[in-house]
Amino acid sequence: MSQAIFMQLDLHLFLKDLQILAPSIGHTLFNNIAAIAISIFVAFFITIYLYKYSLYKSSFLIVLISFPHISFCIGVSYLFASSGLFARLFSLFYGNEVPFASTSGHYTDNLIYIFGLSIREVPFLVLIGLNVCDKIKLNLINRQVQALGFSELTSLVNCVLPLWLKSMSLPILVVITFSFSNIEFSSILGPQLPNMINVKFIESWYSTNQYLIRQLNSLILITILCVIFTTLLLAFLRNLSIYFLKKTRFFIKSSFNSNLLGKIFYKLMISIFILTLLVTFLLSICKSWFFPSILPDTLSYDGWKYIFINHLPIFLNSIFISTFISFLSLIIIGLVIENTNKKKLLFKILFILSFTILILPQNIMLIGINDLMNITNIFSVKIWFYFSLFIYVLPYTYFMMKQTYDNFNYQYIRNANVLGTSRFKSLFLIKIPLISNELILIFAVGFAVCFYQFLQGIIVTKGEEILFNNEVFILFSGESINVASSGSLMNLIPALLLFLLIWIRGHHVKV
Amino acid sequence: MRFLLFFIIFLFFSNFSNSSDVNFHAWGGSIVINNFISESSKDLKKININLKHTKVPDIADTVKILESDKKNNNFGKGLIDLMWINGENFHRLKKKQLLFGPINTVENYKYINFNDQSLHNDFGEPVEGMEVPWGRAQFVIIYDSDLIHKPPETASELMAFAKNNPGRITYPQIPEFHGTTFLKQIIYELIDNKSILQKPISKCQNTCNPLHELINYLKELHPFLWNEGRRFPKSVNETIPLLSNREIWLTFSFNPSVAANYVKNGDLRKSTRTTSFRNGSIGNTHYLAIPFNSSNKKSSLKVINYLISPTIQAKKANINNWGDPTVLDFDLMNSEQRQMFLKKQNIHILPKNKIPYIQEPHYSWTEAIENEWFKAFN
Amino acid sequence: MLKCEDISIKNKNNITLIDKLNFFIKESEIFTLTGPSGVGKSTLLKYICGIRESNFFYSGRILIDNNIINEVPTNLRRVGMIFQNDLLFPHMNVIENILFATPSHKKKNFEDAANLLNQLNLEYLSTKKINTLSGGEYSRVCLARIMMNEPKVLLVDEPFSNLDKKTKALTRDFFYNTISNLNCATLIVTHDMEDIYSYDKIIKL
């Protein structure tokens, strides 16, 4: 149906849609830009705090990024619902037996969406931000500025922040495109009537209503325009603030402790993650937990039992698929990087491909794949499904693998060669053992990325082939909260275990 | 690379379905129903049939798959063998000749009453054997009797209730079918000439009054809904946790006995009761059908025969399983079979025959109502 | 024995670093190559052992035992080299590092390695982990590892540059004693005049 995009775009109809969708676009832009700005701000302070004090703590962030979006959304919704945990705590003091009627409409939804999305993106930005700190030699800058007699905050605001922001362009771009194509946050936490365009997109995709089907063309264009607009706006704001800082050079002599802010943000973030986990866990083991009880009324393992009986095959299947795809992309990327140097065409194509996949909104990309599937009509849906999962694992494997190879000291290989070892042998005896920690991490990230893909099952296969992650989303709109929570927890177990293992091994690995 | 190639070839071949596999596309939004189907599939294994339940969020997606199958000339090797449908989806499939049939030749069809028009007319569309009745539904109100002593049972009582208790009712977002049915029920309540709903919407020219009255009613109601009518649950299931936590005080369902099951599972409080619109509430029948390109029609017919057998229908009607009323006629069964359907009284459910059934409006009204709603509120 | 004929090295800007260098090192002979930094000493050594850097242009012939080895890959040249920043493999212990070059972990090889360590008075290190070695020990294990491989030509690039003064003197003596007993052609690169005093012949660049 979306082949129509390639045929024509009726400007008149587009403008009409733009007018109809204006409130949706307003919501979407406001929510996403606010969430991104907040997450960058928070991430900066947490990064500085973590970098200054102890690097090893940052590896716990790896455990946090393994937390699936959908389970996080579900957890946040349990916290903030008008009969959720916070409302119950409030009723403890106020004494209301019945939750207050929720009459606040969009505004709370917008706030909760911004809260959820910004908190969820912070670990990702911090993890990359820490490596950027390494690269820009943050400690050196700080020492030099302080040697000149200025406070640490002066150095952070005037020198570190501009450099840091510049180096963070790609991850921020990834966050931007994610926020305009995600369906988990916008559908579970976002405002409705009007829905955000992310949700409208999926509605149109599934609709049998001719009007909505046609609207998809406009929505694709609007999504692209929104991403471009947000990128330009944020870039403009960044350059403006850098220009402003250069011109005015305000020097802060006060002893305001910027690390305190980072510490508070960090602790707050960790507690939100733990709280969502805790509430979800309690809900999964309760039979009933009616408002206003703070703790479950009756306990039962029915939710887990239901998940095990009904969803174990798809759960195991998802683990198998993710393992296979992550491994496959590791092997393919490894072969390419091992056999080409940076000047070769294949390497450049891979770079451009990975970059494009990361910065193109996922929903649009997947519609393209679905079109390709329908037009070519070769291979089964299963293979297209695997392919669409694979291309989203590829960029992560590629960039991490490239980083690993860049950091690898080739003197080891030269030494091995001089000792009479062939290239092939030295690959297995020297290189792979030496980068094994990184390889495990790359595999784990690939696994988690694949296991938590969501839109493939919705757009490419239209529900014919899905991952366990999709199943959790369906369960969430079901009647039983304990089943939904059990599913949501089960969803985070494999990646959590994998990353906890990496964390316990205690190797700080660069991402 | 050889390994990769091998794997791809393996996947390619593993995709062809086994001969006794029956791929059943059915709405997967209810745990109770999913459980019933998975238990049935265990039973069917005994007669060498592997019933695979594909849980679709909306059966309209399956209709779309079949349409594109026909467009791509995919005859005889379709992936869908059996589907659970009714209403406008059936109409669409029948009109485009995407169904296999007639399939009323299965053995247990003899228990179905030929004269019961509610079984042979699906949303105003004659069934003509292209689908087989599986169960019945009636639109009901589920409420919390601790909070509501006298539940609203007409459209005007509902409006008064909403105004007295702002934020305590809601309905699933259109086009979810419970939501649409709620709107149809309201139309029935609002207009005098109810027979116009049985005719195609095209007969209701220009300023079509029923729709106009509906939108006016909703515009008055929405400010008093949950979240001021700015947010709706995506499905009727999503309202169950809201009802249990008393965020909302009543909700709707298509199954007169579902509340008993929810109470038993701890999803709803013991004070939950069921009633309906006292002047009559919309009832319909849901059906089983086989797509034109099913690769395993023989086994699909066996599955249909199994699902409408008295034993399974009785099991389905039991509130401990699904609680879906049977489509079989008691007069056509022997006393032993009838005995299976007798059940104990349950305070949570709507007693049989307490509220009169009214027929679903003609299928063409569904899209018209949805479009009006989108125009007014989306 | 190592023979180099008409070796020239140019850099990317076409500036000649080494112009038609000829020399000949017999077995158990030690040559020292010296000169200011940036003149191409290390590049020459790497070229001899088969490592070409992409921003240099090379010409000339290298012969070992009268066979031209220009096109032979590094691992088959039987040229041992101790790099300036020589690295032991951190995932193996000392004895495993030394055994690395041997074709298989046969018992005989293991005995040979133990004998070698004995000979060099390093036996107390054999099961130690690499990251626990001191600077001097590190250099000595590097030398032992290359000796285990029995190269026909030994190339050494600034062997003591990373060591402090005291360790340097000790290690230098150890090196000299060990190398002079070896039966291979040895070429040592250094820019430190202190290091040169006892070596056989000097090539100045």
Each residue of A336-370: pLDDT tens digit? Answer: 888 877 677 888 888 899 989 988 899 999 999 99
The mean predicted confidence, pLDDT, of chain B is 86
Q: Do A302 and B265 touch (CB under 8 A)?
A: yes
Predicted local confidence at residue A82, as pLDDT: 83
Q: List chain A residues with CB under 8 Å of B4.
A: 328
Residues C145-167, mean pLDDT to the nearest whole number: 82
Which domains, and CATH codes, for chain B? 20-135+284-339 (3.40.190.10), 138-282+356-377 (3.40.190.10)
Q: Is residue B152 within 8 Å of B161, Cβ to Cβ?
A: yes
Q: Which of A411, A422, A434 sits opposite C75 (nearest CB)?
A: A422
Predicted local confidence at residue A153, as pLDDT: 79
Predicted local confidence at residue B271, as pLDDT: 92
Predicted local confidence at residue A8, as pLDDT: 58
Q: Does A457 contact B at CB distance below 8 Å?
A: no
* Confidence at B274, pLDDT banded by 50, 70, 90: very high
For residue C150, pLDDT beyond 60: yes
Residues B274-288, mean pLDDT to the nearest whole number: 91
Q: Does A328 contact B at CB distance below 8 Å?
A: yes
For residue A5, pLDDT beyond 60: no
For residue B208, pLDDT beyond 70: no
Residue A420: left if φ>0, alpha if ψ -120 to 50, beta else—which one?
A: left
- The residue whose two tokens read 């109100």 is B141
* Confidence at A510, pLDDT banded by 50, 70, 90: very low
Q: Is residue B48 within 8 Å of B76, Cβ to Cβ?
A: no
Question: Which segment, A206-215, A390-399, B190-199, B348-357, is predicted with the most confidence on average?
Answer: A390-399
Q: Do A102 and B4 touch (CB under 8 A)?
A: no
- Superfamily name with CATH number, domain C2-204: P-loop containing nucleotide triphosphate hydrolases (3.40.50.300)
Predicted local confidence at residue A154, as pLDDT: 79
Predicted local confidence at residue C40, as pLDDT: 83
Predicted local confidence at residue B303, as pLDDT: 94
Q: Do A105 and B147 touch (CB under 8 A)?
A: no
For residue B308, pLDDT beyond 90: yes
For residue A7, pLDDT beyond 50: no
Predicted local confidence at residue A511, as pLDDT: 42
The residue among A96, A116, A94, A117 whose CA lies nearest residue A36 is A117
Give me the interface pTM, i.e. the ipTM. Answer: 0.87
The model's pLDDT over C78-111, given as tens digits with 9 standing for 90+, comes to 888 888 888 888 888 888 888 887 766 566 778 8
Predicted local confidence at residue A253, as pLDDT: 62
Q: Is residue A131 within 8 Å of A511, Cβ to Cβ?
A: yes
Predicted local confidence at residue A105, as pLDDT: 62
Beta partners for B53?
B24
Strands (E), A327-387: none
CATH 1.10.1740.10 fits domain A301-511:
no
Beta partners for C204?
C34
- Chain A's closest residue to B34, CA to CA, is A310
Lowest model confidence (mean pLDDT) among A365-374, A420-429, B159-168, B310-319: A420-429
* Confidence at A116, pLDDT banded by 50, 70, 90: very high
Parallel, antiparallel, or unpaired for β B132-138 and B125-126? unpaired
The model's pLDDT over B156-183, given as tens digits with 9 standing for 90+, comes to 999 999 999 998 999 998 878 899 999 9
- Nearest-neighbour CA in chain B from A438: distance (Å): 23
The mean predicted confidence, pLDDT, of chain C is 82
Chains C and B touch (3+ CB pairs under 8 A): no
Chains B and A touch (3+ CB pairs under 8 A): yes
- Residue B137 per-residue DSSP state: E
Residues C163-168, mean pLDDT to the nearest whole number: 78
- Chain C's closest residue to A410, CA to CA, is C87
| Beta carbons within 10 angstroms of residue A29's beta carbon | 17
Q: List chain A residues with CB under 8 Å of C90.
A: 434
Taking the domains of chain C in order of start, what are their residue ranges? 2-204
Predicted local confidence at residue A509, as pLDDT: 46
- Supply the Cα-derived Rg of chain C in whole angstroms: 17
Residues A281-308, mean pLDDT to the nearest whole number: 86
Q: Does C90 contact A at CB distance below 8 Å?
A: yes
Predicted local confidence at residue C53, as pLDDT: 81
For residue B1, pLDDT beyond 70: no
* Confidence at C76, pLDDT banded by 50, 70, 90: confident
Q: List chain A residues with CB under 8 Å of B245.
A: 83, 99, 290-291
In single-letter form, the type of residue at position A367 comes to I
Q: Does B190 contact A at CB distance below 8 Å?
A: no
- The better pLDDT of the pair A287, C102 is held by A287
Q: Which of A419, A423, A434 sits opposite C101 (nearest CB)?
A: A419
For residue A323, pLDDT beyond 90: yes
For residue B344, pLDDT beyond 70: no
Quick one: tokens of C37? Answer: 């930094």
The residue among B44, B23, B18 whose CA lies nearest residue B307 is B44
Q: Do A420 and C76 touch (CB under 8 A)?
A: yes
Is residue C149 classed as helix, strand or coil in its secondary structure?
A: coil
Predicted local confidence at residue C196, as pLDDT: 66
Q: pLDDT exceeding 90 applies to what percent of chain B?
A: 36
Q: Does C85 contact A at CB distance below 8 Å?
A: yes
Predicted local confidence at residue A330, as pLDDT: 94
- Nearest-neighbour CA in chain C from A425: distance (Å): 11
